[in-house]
Structure 1
């Protein structure tokens, strides 16, 4: 089953907004209309979007400022659709992060083709890019932000605890001996100090259990080591 493509349409003219939404729905996409920059920010903070269609002359928050905020957060492709025809406006908008610039009045088929083209290119980039987000059961681990969540609630881990969990999630079927864990996480030769491993494993397990008491994430294989359960 294919994932639904969600596109935010930021346009204060209701007729144009409705037209763009119809174009998107005809192509099988799921549009969300927003009629001001302020309203658009609410949707942007609420979820991730596959694309944003953006007018520049908006009430509340100008389109240029909204574009910069989008690019600060992620790499969502943005197509600007504006009545501003000045070459300098087009150039400056592309420089601050727009992926394309379409001038009003626009051709419906051209808009549809450009949307499809940018989504295909973005999809290929996502497939080629190494993933820095890991999932196991209801645990989500982000290697870039060093944030771990369980059931969408953040779990505060120390650097060592995070490294241990990341190691487990990188090799979900592997059994790690205490020596494996110590040499992988501490990057030092293991000399038989079980206490260090025991304390960190106990703390990690307690934090995971507290976040979701109904789930058991790590199991101990006596005489062998630990692995994800």
Structure 2
């Protein structure tokens, strides 16, 4: 599921992202309200975590925009703990309200509870299929097709491709890929990552020397190009 974090303090954004990724969520981050609104309009967001005081567009105004088109769960996470702010936020359609400082574990528990409630009572199902150009990934069957032809992927190749397809355009470092896919500490084993990336390119690209999908960002890592 895709979680949007709208928070102008980078340390807090990064802390929340770290805990969400460990729980298997995909994360979109914004440092101001307008950036968050743009992400919301252009991506299938399942839940939003909003600060109240943000540059360009505050959290209350952002929530109003979200509620014009969506009933996804929204959690306010803010340093403002006045009762009037809580009443206003909940009155505008927020589902929960937490004040800083906060416990990341409690936040994760509240996120999980809100998502369970939303999908149970809305009748909606969490997305399990992702499409990118000619590629289609089905999480329920752990399969990937290109032009309706099933690709022969091993478990690690599938997990890498799943991570990248769920977050097109996002760059992952080799360290991030290794720790998320292998679930182990990274000690600079670049060769393992490079071999798997090469095998994936063999299977999804028409021309591995000029890849359309899986791009190398020199000195940083890899991403799947939005096509």
Residue 14 (structure 1) aligned with residue 10 (structure 2): yes
Deviation track 1:120-166 (CA, whole Å, cap 9, x = no partner) reads 1011023279xxxxxxxxxxxxxxxxxxxxxxxxxxxxxxxxxxxxx
Deviation track 1:11-35 (CA, whole Å, cap 9, x = no partner) reads 0100000011111111110011110
In structure 1, stretches of 5+ residues that fail to align are: 130-229
Larger relative contact order (Cα-Cα within 8 Å, sequence gap ≥ 6): 2
In 2, distance between residues paired with 1:36 and 1:102?
A: 19
| Higher Rg of the two aligned structures | 1
Q: CA deviation at 1:47?
A: 2.0
Aligned residues: 125
**TM-score where L is the length of structure 1:** 0.53
Deviation track 1:164-214 (CA, whole Å, cap 9, x = no partner) reads xxxxxxxxxxxxxxxxxxxxxxxxxxxxxxxxxxxxxxxxxxxxxxxxxxx
Q: CA deviation at 1:109?
A: 1.4
Residue aligning to 2:108: 112
**TM-score where L is the length of structure 2:** 0.53
In structure 2, stretches of 5+ residues that fail to align are: 126-227
Q: CA deviation at 1:77?
A: 0.8
Q: Which moved more, 1:119-128 or 1:87-96?
A: 119-128
Q: CA deviation at 1:76?
A: 1.1
Residue aligning to 1:31: 27
SS at match of 2:118: helix
In 2, distance between residues paired with 1:93 and 1:80?
A: 8
Moved over 6 A (4+): none
